[in-house]
Structure 1
Amino acid sequence: MINFKIRYTLLLFAACISLQACKKAWQDHTAITIEALNKTLIQQINETPDLSTFSTYLVKTGYDKVLASSKSYTVWAPTNTAMQTIDAAILADTAKLRLFVANHISYQEYFTTAPNPSLVIRTLSGKNIIFTPATFEEAKIVKGNVYVKNGVLHTIDQASGTKQNAYEFMMSTGLSTKQRGFIQSLFHTEIDTSKGVKLYTDPITKKTIYQAGTTFPVTKNTYFQRVSDISSEDSLLTYIILSDVAYDAEKAKIGRYYNLSTSATKTDTLTQFAVVKDLVVNHVYTIDNLPDTLTTVSGVKIHLDRSAIIQTQKLSNGIAYVVSSIGYQILQNKIPVIYIQGELPDSVRVPSTLSIRTKKDLNDVKYTDMQSRSITSSPDPLYYYRYKTTVNSAQYKVYWRAVNDIFTTSFNQKVDFSATRYYPKAVETPLATMGYKAVAVSDYSEVYLGLYTPANYGTLYTFLVSATGVVSTAPSALSLDYIKLVPVN
C-alpha cells in the first residue's frame, strides 16, 4: 500500500513537470520583461545594439525627447537589418521621416497579451496599424513586452511605412482620374458658426447675423458630408475605385434616371454623384473574405467580381479595390422603391380632425396610418394630404394601401402628382392623376393605381385628394397607410 502511494506521487509530480514544460514556450513569448523598469524607452532603445539605426532617427526627428518623457508609450522598433530596406526618399525628407518614425509609436501601453485576436491602434503619425500577439502590420515581433518605466518596447523584423487612407490612395493612383476629379470638384467653402456670437436675425433675409471675428471659413467636401469621409482615420471601410472606362460605363448606364431637361450640366453632376455614392462599404473585406454581395453606406447592394479587380491596396482606414466593373440591380436597388408614409404629410388641407393611428391588420401586423373622416364634400381647391419626396426620371408603378374602417360602404379618393407645392387648378399646372378609386371596406391589401413617369429627377409633391360632390354624394373621407412607387423602366 505504501509503495503504491509513493509510485502515484512520483507519477503525479512527473506529470506536473511535463505540463509546466509545455506551458513555458507560450509563457516565454507573452511574458512581460520587467528588468528595465528603471529606464525610459529611449534609454532602453539606446542600450539595445540591434536598434541603433532606429535610435539615430529618433534623435534626428526629435522623438527621442518624446520617449524620454513621463507619458506612457508603446514602441515597435525595427531592427538594424529591417531599417536597411527603407526608401531613401523617406530618409532624405524630414517630414516623411517624422511620419515614418511616428508610425512606430503609439500612446498608452500595449502588450502582446492585449490583442484578441487583433487591435487597431492609432499611432503618433495619425495612422492606424494592426497589432496582433505576434505581428505589427506585416512585421513579426522578434522580442516583445520589454516593460520600462514609461511604456513598452517591442522589436520587429520589418519597418512599417505610413499607409495612405482611401482618399489619399485615390488621389495618388493614375487608374481613376475621373472619379478622383469629380470628388475633388466637390470641395467648397462654408462659414463655421459653431462658435459664432449671434447678434440678431435679419427680418428680411431671415439670416442670422454674427459678431465679426467669431465665424470663419472652412473647407468642406459634399461627398465627405453626404456619403462618407473617406479621408477619416476614425472608421474602417472598403472603398471601390472605378477605372476611367468603368466610370464612363456607369454614367451611361444610369444617366437617364437623373435627367433634368433644363440643364445638361446639372444632369451630369447628379449622374456622377449617383455613381460615386454607392462605392463605400462600412466594413473591411479582404479579397479572401469578399462576400458575393456588399451593402454600401447608401443601402445599395453591389457585387464585385474578383476577375474585375485591377488592384488591391491596404489602407490606414481599411482596404481599396480598383475595379474595371461593378454589378448591381438598377431598378428597385440603385433606383429604389419609394414609400410615402400616410402619417408623415408635408402639409394638409382638411375640414375635420386628423387621426394618426397605430393598429393591426388581419395578419396581426402593426401599421400606422392617417385618417380624416366625415368630409361632406370637397370644395375647389380640394381637401388633401400633401407629401414631398424625391423621384428619379423613371417609370413607376403606383400602389396605395388605404384602410376603410370608417364607413360600412366604400368612399372615393385619388392620388395626384405635381412639381409644385400648391394644389393647382388644371389651367395653371396640369397634374398627373391616378384618378378616383374606391376604398373598399376593411381592405388591407395593396391596390394598384396605375403608371406614372416623372419628366425630371427631383422633388415631387404627391396629393391624396378627397372626393367632390360630383364624384360621390355620400360622406367622404381620407385614409392612407402608404403610397408605393416601384420603378419598372
Structure 2
Amino acid sequence: MNRIFIYVIILICLGACSDPWDDRYQTGNESDKNLVQLLENDPELTGFAELLRTSGVAAEITGNKSYTIWAPTNTALQALPSSIRNNSEALKRFVGNHIGFLENFSIDASEPMRIKMINGKTNTFNGSIFQSAEASVSLTTKDILAKNGVLHKVNGILETKDNIWEIIQQESSNATNGYILDMVNINVITNVRTNYFQTEVVDLSNEDSLYTYIMLTDAAFESFKEELKVYYKDTLPEGEILKAYTLGVAKDLVLKGAHYDAPPSMLLSVDSVEVYLDQANVVEQINASNGVIYVMDKFDFKLSDKIPNIIIEGEDFDAVSGSRDRVSIRPRSWASGGRDVLVRGHGTASFHLTYRVPNANSVKYRVYWRAVNDDYIPRDNEQRIAINEITNPTFGYQWVVRNTFEEVFVGEYEVDLYGNLNLLLTSASVTNNDWNTMVLDYIRLEPVFE
C-alpha cells in the first residue's frame, strides 16, 4: 500500500510540473512548421508573407539558422508607402528590418535588448515594444515557436533609415560634412584611402551604437573653426591643414547616445567634452538608424574642455640626465596617482628629469607644480623647470618648503606652435648632495583664455 501511495504522489507531481521550455512561449507551439509557413498559414500575416516572397527574403531564412520575426499585421501594412513596396532594394531592407538573428523571446527581454537584424541594422526589443530608431510598434501576439525561430505579431511598421554616416555622405555639400569627409589618409604603399575621423574619433556607420551628431550650418561651422584655429598654430604651407586641428574641430560634434526627443541642454561628446544643445539653435532634426542628427546654427561648448589642463605625473619621466639609481619612485597616499618621484645623492649640478608633453596647444599656460618635501631632508631645497633646453631661463629656481602640500605657481609660458613640449625638472646647480635634492608629485599646465 505504501508503494502504491508513493507512485500516486509521483504521478500527481509529474502532472503538476510544467516544462520550463513551455513557459518561454505564450501563444502556442508550431515547431513542426518553419517561420515562412507560419506566416502563410496565419490570415493576419498573409501580407507580410507575400512581401517575404516578393523581396526574396523568404529563401534566405529557410535554412538551418534561427531567426525572430516581428511581423506587421495586414492592417499595419496598409501604411507601407508605395515607394518601398514598388522598389525591390527598399522592400528588401524594409522586410529585413523586421527579422532578427537568433531566437528572441519576450521573457528574455525584461531589460531592453539590442537585436541585430538581417538588413544590418540594430533594433531594440523590450518584450512588448519593438523599436527601430525613434519609431516603435507594440506586440499584439508574442512568442509563437517555429521550427527555425520565433514569431511575434506587431501593430505597425518600421521603415528602414540610413545611418548617420550614410546621411553625411548624402549631404556632402554641407560644410561640416564636407570637412569630415575630407579627413582622409592615403596609404603610400597600397594607395588605400581611409577616413581618420571614422578610425580615430568614432565610426558613424556602426549600427550597434547610438549617437547624436551636430551638423552645423555653413556659417556656424566657419565661425566655430575660426574660434579654434588660434590654438593650433603651425608652420604648414598655405592650404595644408594640421591633422590635430581637423580632429580638434570635428571630434566633439558627436555626442554619446541618441536623443530623439527633448534632449538635455548639456551633453557629453564621445571625447567627454561638455556640449550645450539649445533647442532655439536647432534648424532641423534628422533621425537615423543609429541615432539622430541636429542641424544647428550655433555650437556652444566649454573651451576649457576642448583645450584642457595638462597634468604630468612626477613618476612618469621620459629621460634622466645621469644615473637612474638615484631616482626613487615613492608610494605616497597623499600623492596624485598614489606616487611621486624623489632624486637625491646624485652629486651632479643641474641634474634633471625630462618630461615629454605631446600635443600642447598654441596658448599661454600657467604652470604649477606640487612638490612635497615630507622631511626627506631636514631643510628646504630648491629646483626649477626648464623648457625644452636646460639653459632655458624662463623659470628661475624656487624653494620647496618642508611639509608644504599645496600646489605652487611656477610662472607662465607661451607655446608658439602646436606640438610637443619638453619640461626639464632641474636640481640646484651644485654638486653638494645636501642641497641638490629634488622632488615632484606633478606639474600642471593650465591654459589661459584671453
TM-score tier by shorter-chain length is: 0.7 to 0.9
Whole-Å Cα distance in 2 between the matches of residues 353 and 457 of structure 1? 34
Q: 1:258 to 1:233 in 2, by over 3 A?
A: same
Post-superposition shift, 1:189?
Answer: 4.3
Whole-Å Cα distance in 2 between the matches of residues 473 and 145 of structure 1? 80
Is 1:348 the counterpart of 2:317? The answer is no
Map of 2:10 onto structure 1: none
Whole-Å Cα distance in 2 between the matches of residues 292 and 73 of structure 1? 40
Give matches, 1:24-43, under 5 Å: 32-43=26-37
Is 1:297 the counterpart of 2:265? The answer is no
Contact 2:256 2:267 in 1 (8 A): no
Contact 1:251 1:271 in 2 (8 A): no
> Of the candidates 337, 350, 367, which is equivalent to residue 338 of structure 2?
367
Post-superposition shift, 1:269?
Answer: 5.0
**Structure 2 letter corresponding to 1:410:** D
**Structure 1 letter corresponding to 2:362:** S
Q: 1:410 to 1:35 in 2, by over 3 A?
A: closer
> Of the candidates 214, 226, 233, which is equivalent to residue 207 of structure 2?
233
> Of the candidates 181, 184, 188, which is equivalent to residue 185 of structure 2?
188
Counterpart secondary structure, 1:278: helix
> Of the candidates 51, 54, 75, which is equivalent to residue 69 of structure 2?
75
Contact 1:367 1:481 in 2 (8 A): no
Contact 2:383 2:399 in 1 (8 A): yes
Q: What CA deviation, in whole Å up to 9, does each residue of 1:293-320 have, x standing for no partner? A: 2222212112111222223333322333
Map of 2:294 onto structure 1: 321
Supply the RMSD in Å over aligned alpha carbons: 2.7
Whole-Å Cα distance in 1 between the matches of residues 191 and 73 of structure 2? 46
Map of 2:8 onto structure 1: none
Q: 1:185 to 1:276 in 2, by over 3 A?
A: same
> Of the candidates 362, 369, 383, which is equivalent to residue 400 of structure 1?
369
**Structure 2 letter corresponding to 1:348:** V
Post-superposition shift, 1:360?
Answer: 3.1
Contact 2:27 2:141 in 1 (8 A): no
> Of the candidates 302, 307, 317, which is equivalent to residue 335 of structure 1?
307
Whole-Å Cα distance in 2 between the matches of residues 439 and 91 of structure 1? 78
Map of 1:147 onto structure 2: 145
Q: What CA deviation, in whole Å up to 9, does each residue of 1:455-488 have, x standing for no partner? A: 0111111111122139x89530221111111111
Give matches, 1:26-175, under 5 Å: 32-137=26-131, 138-173=136-171
Q: What CA deviation, in whole Å up to 9, does each residue of 1:76-113 have, x standing for no partner? A: 22233433443444344433322222111111222333
Whole-Å Cα distance in 2 between the matches of residues 173 and 38 of structure 1? 49
Structure 1 gaps, min length 5: 1-29, 192-214
Map of 1:10 onto structure 2: none
Q: What CA deviation, in whole Å up to 9, does each residue of 1:176-212 have, x standing for no partner? A: 7122112211233449xxxxxxxxxxxxxxxxxxxxx
Post-superposition shift, 1:266?
Answer: 4.7
Map of 1:27 onto structure 2: none
Counterpart secondary structure, 2:252: coil
Whole-Å Cα distance in 2 between the matches of residues 72 and 274 of structure 1? 45
> Of the candidates 466, 471, 480, which is equivalent to residue 440 of structure 2?
480
Post-superposition shift, 1:342?
Answer: 0.8
TM-score (norm 1): 0.78
Counterpart secondary structure, 2:91: helix
TM-score (norm 2): 0.84
Post-superposition shift, 1:410?
Answer: 2.0
Map of 1:441 onto structure 2: 402
**Structure 2 letter corresponding to 1:127:** K
Contact 1:399 1:447 in 2 (8 A): yes
Whole-Å Cα distance in 2 between the matches of residues 483 and 145 of structure 1? 61
Counterpart secondary structure, 1:302: strand
Q: What CA deviation, in whole Å up to 9, does each residue of 1:17-73 have, x standing for no partner? A: xxxxxxxxxxxxx96222523211111111223433322231233321233333221
**Structure 2 letter corresponding to 1:145:** D
Whole-Å Cα distance in 2 between the matches of residues 69 and 325 of structure 1? 52
> Of the candidates 387, 394, 397, which is equivalent to residue 417 of structure 1?
387
**Structure 2 letter corresponding to 1:477:** T
> Of the candidates 451, 454, 459, which is equivalent to residue 415 of structure 2?
454
Whole-Å Cα distance in 2 between the matches of residues 70 and 366 of structure 1? 54
Equivalences, count: 419
**Structure 2 letter corresponding to 1:237:** Y
**Structure 2 letter corresponding to 1:257:** Y
Structure 2 gaps, min length 5: 1-23
**Structure 1 letter corresponding to 2:340:** D
Post-superposition shift, 1:117?
Answer: 4.9
Counterpart secondary structure, 1:159: coil
Whole-Å Cα distance in 2 between the matches of residues 106 and 302 of structure 1? 35
> Of the candidates 283, 290, 293, which is equivalent to residue 310 of structure 1?
283
Map of 1:383 onto structure 2: 351
**Structure 2 letter corresponding to 1:319:** V
Counterpart secondary structure, 2:203: coil
Whole-Å Cα distance in 2 between the matches of residues 461 and 247 of structure 1? 34
Counterpart secondary structure, 2:106: coil
